[in-house]
Amino acid sequence: MKVVEMISVRKEFPGVVALDNINFSLEEGEIHGLVGENGAGKSTLINILAGVFQQTSGELRLFGKPVKLSSPSDALHRGIGVVYQDTVLDPFFTAEENIWLGREPSRLSVLKGREIRSDTKRLCDKYGIVVPLGIPVGTLSVAKQKMVEILRALSMNSKVLVLDEPTASITQSDTDNLFEILKNLKKSGISIIFVSHHLDEVFNLCDRISVLRNGCYEGTFASSELSTRDLIKLMTNRDLVDQYPKRASEIGEEILKVSNLNVARFGLKDISFEVKRGEIVGFFGMVGSGRTELMKSIFGAHEIDSGEITINNEKIRIKGPSKAMRAGVYLCPEDRRREGVVQDMSVIDNLTSPFLGTLTRLGVINSRESRARAGKVSSELKIKAPSLKTIISHLSGGNQQKVVLGKWLLGPESRVFIFDEPTQGIDVGAKSEFYRIMQEIAKKGCGVLFVSSDIRELLGIADRIYVMRLGRITAEFKRGEYDQHSILENALSDSLAARSEKDE
Amino acid sequence: MNKIGLLFQKYGTILALIGIVVFFSIMTETFLTSRNLINILSHISMLTIIATGMTVCMIPGDFDMSIASVASLSGVIVTSLILKGLGVFGSILITVGMGALFGVIAGILITRLKISAFIATLALGTIATGINFMFTRGQEVYGIFPDSFLAIAQKRVLGIPVQVFIMAVVIVVFTFAMEKTKMGKWMYSIGGSVKASFLSGINVRLLRVVGMIISGALAAFTGCILASRLGSGQPTAGDAYLMDAIAASFLGMTTIKVGRPNVPGTFVGALIIGVINNGLVIMGVSYFFQYIAKGAIIILAVSMTSFRSSESF
């Protein structure tokens, strides 16, 4: 039986057609992957199912009956539970309060606290999902918060569960755990729509896959009939022969050296490594291995307890990011939306903000110079924006990431670039473009530090890979001696290393 | 943070209050007498009521800069209505309704016209002041008031002024409404995450308007009590309450429910302000130094508890 059916669905926003002629159907008890590049219309489709948007034309059928969903709570009452990409929980509320938010059991409007707790326990038992109760969800890990959102989505006996990029910011073991839960839900007859950029996950988990491209429906395929390459071609309409561009790297003298760095409060212990000019050095490790904290410490965003940082053979005491910038060290942070850009400022304001001092005369901003410099960087990086004055939150993830990088390119002299998960949440085409950009930066004689959870992209473009676990560097691999198994082994704890071999 | 640290963060402000009380008890002979303590409660009852309104509208994330002007306007309206021959109860009801109307207008400006709460209520407060002076020409409203009106702030039951009981009722009712009912839970949820609330089917706009209505109504009610205490309608009687109400609400955010506006916390905040005022007067400190001391103690109390272990910039 088709639990959800979309027939010729079209959605227009002022001036844009976001979805056109979508014919999508979800069978009972299947896990259905929904893929497409950023901007392909996945979120719009989900928002129509969630009752956030209403389609402009076309028909939406639930369990065979045509419906029009008027609001998110309407959709939830009709059995559609949605877990959005960005966490939408009240961080101060407990898990049980968040799950029943808007539908709390009460009498004469007075809350029944005991019932809320017992209902939550029953819900957890029913689906075999464990979350800590009684403490604010803001203190839980991202993975646990996802579980709370899944429980909320299921709390109305939902028959359809929609997950938008649920694995974007959780670790591999949490992802495995999530997949177990989803497979169990499927067995109990729940139909699942699963949106992800990680094509391996989609193939691994889903029975069928639907592809969207530029707001159009490209078809639905059984995942057993499709290869990764076919899928990428359907998504991008171009053959990505090699996602990872090759290059002849000219590696020069040492540009950055870190020795015996310790930051006790983040568990960073005895970190020593070096980066040479023209080199792309990968950092692999699970979330929580201390990668991000290490990068922030080098950039001066975290104070270090002890250790030496040498840049261009000059010992430097980095106190704060402004000192790091003066030394030519630049960080593109992991949390692009919050730490990389200022969301409600324009492209040009974001690009020029770090080095605004070089664009002023007597404290007054030289706007012609700003436009010229920002425009140059924007066209070099091929930032796709209607204009430099476009507010940055309107841009796709990939283009926002280019702005994060672009603001450093306006700087006087660059020596070391740190990229922390630069390709997370951006689409396949943009990823490939970003690899090329990183290689060009290295080619100019800068040192590049590239942090990633995606081992294949590191194997693809890094000249050397350091592996981190629990705040230490556990191994170093040179190109040519790359071995996916031992890299994973060094990144995971010993007990998990065995499992990673099984995954291969 | 360790357990003691957490406890300190939660109850540090109350500890500070106790510290201030001990200080004044040692420094003066008359501070720690039942008469004086009742006096303090009586003094802060109006502040607590008006600050409770402010706290309630802050819970879903709004703010009300018009409370003092609305309280002043209410004082002259309620006295005028009573002198016109309307009953005491009816006059207060109409006045509180007027305050609620200000809240409705503020709420519509905020949720429909998307004006920031700060600006919208600043403008409405200015309008309230204008109406006030248009009406009174700056003159006080005086005459013979019925005893039942004057009793609100002047009569004592069991040796305790009636307004202290009124304050207690307001604290209990609004603490219960905010902590134990759906409405309160949803208002907190809006303050925590508008998006999560909206996606949970909560009527965000309505509840933000409700917050402003409660704030306006309690401001007007405070104006009525103030008029009863003064025995006349003074056009500027409520003006001094704005800053103290803001201070009490922000002090309140440092305790009980740390980081979020909460009614019992606001009462603690009002107590701190009341105790400081009273103690400094008893010590004979000149009034201009009282302001400096009050400001300094508020900074101290808040900084003691509001430190966060996370990022510092």
| B115 part of a folded domain | yes
Superfamily of structural domain A254-328+414-503: P-loop containing nucleotide triphosphate hydrolases (3.40.50.300)
Q: Is A90 on the interface with B (CB under 8 A)?
A: yes
**A503 has a pLDDT exceeding 50:** no
Position A497 scores a pLDDT of 41
Q: Which amino acid type is present at position B270?
A: A
Give the one of B180, B183, B192 whose C-beta lies nearest to A90's C-beta: B192
- Mind listing the pLDDT tens digit for each residue in A197-254? 777 888 889 999 999 888 889 889 998 888 877 887 787 765 544 567 666 668 889 9
Position B309 scores a pLDDT of 38
Neighbours of A503 (CB within 10 A): 11
A71 in Cβ contact with B201 (< 8 Å): yes
Position B1 scores a pLDDT of 52
Contact B185 A111 (CB under 8 A): yes
| B1 part of a folded domain | no
A127 in Cβ contact with A48 (< 8 Å): no
Tokens 């910038």 correspond to A325
CA dist A460 and A242 (Å) reads 10
A184 in Cβ contact with A127 (< 8 Å): yes
CA of B202: which chain A residue's CA is closest? A102
Our CA-based measurement puts residue A48 at a distance from the nearest CA of chain B, in whole angstroms, of: 13
CA of B194: which chain A residue's CA is closest? A90
| B190 part of a folded domain | yes
Long-range Cβ contacts of A309-316 (<8 Å, 24+ apart): A309/A256, A309/A257, A309/A258, A309/A261, A310/A256, A310/A257, A310/A258, A310/A259, A311/A255, A311/A256, A311/A257, A311/A415, A311/A416, A312/A255, A312/A415, A313/A254
Contact B201 A71 (CB under 8 A): yes
A25 in Cβ contact with A200 (< 8 Å): no
The mean pLDDT value of chain B amounts to: 89
A212 in Cβ contact with A35 (< 8 Å): yes
Our CA-based measurement puts residue A73 at a distance from the nearest CA of chain B, in whole angstroms, of: 5
**A290 has a pLDDT exceeding 80:** yes
Position B63 scores a pLDDT of 93
Residues of chain A above pLDDT 90, percent: 33
Collect all residues with Cβ–Cβ distance below 8 Å to B161 and sequence separation of at least 6.
B38, B41, B42, B45, B153, B154, B155
Specify the DSSP class assigned to residue A425: T
For chain B, strand residue ranges (E) read 156-157, 160-161
| Cα A368 to the center of its chain, rounded Å | 35
Residues from chain A that touch B195, judged by Cβ atoms under 8 A, are: 88
Position B193 scores a pLDDT of 85
The mean per-residue pLDDT over the stretch A134-156 comes to 88
Position B209 scores a pLDDT of 96
Q: Which two three-digit tokens encode residue A503?
A: 């995954």
Q: Which two three-digit tokens encode residue A209?
A: 């896959």
The mean per-residue pLDDT over the stretch A327-344 comes to 87
CA dist A173 and A175 (Å) reads 5
The ranges assigned to domains in chain A are 2-236, 254-328+414-503, 342-412
In this structure, what is the dihedral angle of CA atoms A481, A485, A491, A496, given to the nearest 10 degrees? Answer: -160
Residues from chain B that touch A104, judged by Cβ atoms under 8 A, are: 182, 185
Reported ipTM: the value is: 0.70
> Of A492-501, B10-19, B185-194, which gets the smallest average pLDDT?
A492-501
How many Cα atoms occupy the beta-carbon half-sphere of A493 within 13 Å? 5
User: Among candidates A157, A105, A170, which has minimal Cα distance to A127?
Assistant: A157
- Mind listing the pLDDT tens digit for each residue in A398-448? 889 999 999 898 887 788 999 999 988 787 788 888 898 999 999 988 999
3-state secondary structure of A163: strand
The domain total for chain B is: 1
B70: domain CATH number?
A: 1.10.3470
- DSSP string covering B145-157: PPHHHHHHHH-EE
Whole-prediction pTM value? 0.73
Position B137 scores a pLDDT of 87
The mean per-residue pLDDT over the stretch A1-15 comes to 86
Position A207 scores a pLDDT of 93
| B192 part of a folded domain | yes
The mean per-residue pLDDT over the stretch A1-21 comes to 85
Sorting pLDDT into bands at 50, 70 and 90, what band is A306? very high
Our CA-based measurement puts residue B164 at a distance from the nearest CA of chain A, in whole angstroms, of: 26
Which of B3, B10, B183, B185 to mutate to test binding with chain A, by most A CBs within 10 Å of its CB?
A: B185
- Mind listing the pLDDT tens digit for each residue in B141-196? 888 888 889 988 888 888 899 999 999 999 999 999 998 888 898 999 898 888 88
For A346-452, strand residue ranges (E) read 360-361, 364-365, 416-420, 447-452
Q: Is A101 on the interface with B (CB under 8 A)?
A: yes
Which of A69, A96, A101 to mutate to test binding with chain B, by most B CBs within 10 Å of its CB?
A: A101
CA dist B244 and B269 (Å) reads 9
The mean pLDDT value of chain A amounts to: 86
Give the one of A72, A91, A92 whose C-beta lies nearest to B201's C-beta: A72
- Mind listing the pLDDT tens digit for each residue in A37-74? 766 888 889 999 998 888 899 999 999 899 988 888 88
How many Cα atoms occupy the beta-carbon half-sphere of A395 within 13 Å? 32
Q: Which two three-digit tokens encode residue A161?
A: 């569960």
CA dist B58 and B121 (Å) reads 13
CA dist B97 and B75 (Å) reads 13
B160 strand-pairing partners: B157
Q: Is pLDDT larger for residue A454 or for residue B311? A: A454
Sheet order of strands, A314-316 included: A268-276, A254-263, A306-311, A314-316
Our CA-based measurement puts residue B253 at a distance from the nearest CA of chain A, in whole angstroms, of: 14
Q: Which of A100-104, A360-364, B21-25 has the highest mean pLDDT?
A: B21-25
Position B255 scores a pLDDT of 84
A177 to each of A40, A146, A424, A473, A492, how far by Cα in Å? 29, 12, 21, 26, 15
Residues from chain B that touch A52, judged by Cβ atoms under 8 A, are: 199
- Mind listing the pLDDT tens digit for each residue in B46-71? 999 999 999 999 999 999 999 999 99
A392 in Cβ contact with A345 (< 8 Å): yes
* Inter-axis angle of helices B34-58 and B204-230, nearest 10: 150
Pick the CATH number of A2-236 from 3.40.50.920, 3.40.50.720, 3.40.50.300, 3.30.559.10: 3.40.50.300
Sorting pLDDT into bands at 50, 70 and 90, what band is A492? low
CA dist A219 and A199 (Å) reads 16
A27 in Cβ contact with A222 (< 8 Å): no
**A377 has a pLDDT exceeding 50:** yes
**A496 has a pLDDT exceeding 60:** no
Position A215 scores a pLDDT of 85
Which of A90, A110, A292, A322 to mutate to test binding with chain B, by most B CBs within 10 Å of its CB?
A: A90
Q: Which two three-digit tokens encode residue A112?
A: 């029944």
B92 in Cβ contact with B78 (< 8 Å): yes
Contact A90 B201 (CB under 8 A): no
Position A201 scores a pLDDT of 85
Collect all residues with Cβ–Cβ distance below 8 Å to B253 and sequence separation of at least 6.
B259, B260, B261, B262, B265
| B310 part of a folded domain | no
Q: Domain range for residue B14?
A: 10-304
Q: Is A97 on the interface with B (CB under 8 A)?
A: yes
